[in-house]
Amino acid sequence: MILTTNTTIAIQCSQCGELEFHALSLFAFSQRERKKLLCGCGLELMSVTSRNRQQFNVTYACAYCGDTHYLRLNRRAIWGKEVFPLVCPAVEASVGYIGPKQKVTQACHEREKSIGELAVELGYEEEFENPEVMLRVLEHLHFLAKQGDLGCACGNHQLSFELLPDHIELYCECCEAVGVIYADCADNVRQIEGIDSMYLEENKTWLINSPLRGQHISKTNEEETKWR
């Protein structure tokens, strides 16, 4: 029998909004200390205490309602085989998860997806020509930003975004750089998802992809195949 002594905690910070990952060892509770998990921004995300390593008192700051929630969990809920959701009772959604690393990562991925679906439900539908494409492009930009692969050649990494019905404009506030990303057809998603790193050119406007060009290309390809 394998006894799990390490668990992963993922929780969204109620101060800066980042999704934070922490490892927690059962052996951290050898002395009756309070185990605190801090976010990179300094906020205390969670604290765990135990007297006997069987019952654990967990409190966490909730990114949804702003309150602190309290749970009393047994060892198997924290260091078990399944994912335990950190729920906000006010909105009935999870601000994070505890469990095996792989399952926690998977649960976070699904949570992100449902946030995307929520955005569509909340009426992005009417604002964008193709909301699904817009969301997928935004997701990729978010991913690039997280990896540190989004910025401006002038050295600025904090670009401003403006969302328009069929495109996104990226601005550098340190220089005059502008980037335009079309997001109105599925080909736009493929173009953008193929980009691993995106740096605006200092003081220049860059059309990062082209509108609806993909449709034209695929038509030409079909004709070529016919002729061969």
Residue 127 Cβ, how far from Zn ion at the closest point, in Å?
28
The nearer residue to Zn ion, 17 or 165, going by C-beta atoms, is 17
The nearer residue to Zn ion, 10 or 88, going by C-beta atoms, is 88
The nearer residue to Zn ion, 78 or 172, going by C-beta atoms, is 172
CA distance 3 to 41: 33
| Assigned token pair, 192 | 């953008």
Q: Which residues bind Zn ion (CB under 5 A)?
A: 13, 15-16, 39, 41, 43, 62, 64-65, 88, 90, 152, 154, 156, 172, 174-175, 177
Residue 76 Cβ, how far from Zn ion at the closest point, in Å?
24
Residue 85 Cβ, how far from Zn ion at the closest point, in Å?
12
For the chain, counts of helices (H) and of strands (E): 6, 14
Instruction: Burial-class residue 78 by CB neighbours within 10 Å (0-12, 13-18, 19+).
Output: buried
CA distance 157 to 170: 11
Instruction: Burial-class residue 19 by CB neighbours within 10 Å (0-12, 13-18, 19+).
Output: middle
Instruction: Burial-class residue 10 by CB neighbours within 10 Å (0-12, 13-18, 19+).
Output: buried
Residue 40 Cβ, how far from Zn ion at the closest point, in Å?
6
Residue 207 Cβ, how far from Zn ion at the closest point, in Å?
17
Residues found in the chain: 228
The nearer residue to Zn ion, 207 or 212, going by C-beta atoms, is 207
The nearer residue to Zn ion, 23 or 91, going by C-beta atoms, is 91
Residue 90 Cβ, how far from Zn ion at the closest point, in Å?
5
Work out the end-to-end distance of the chain between its first and last CA atoms, rounded to an integer number of angstroms: 63
* Residues 15, 159, 188: CA angle, nearest 5 degrees: 110
Q: Which amino acid is at 48?
A: V
The nearer residue to Zn ion, 38 or 164, going by C-beta atoms, is 38
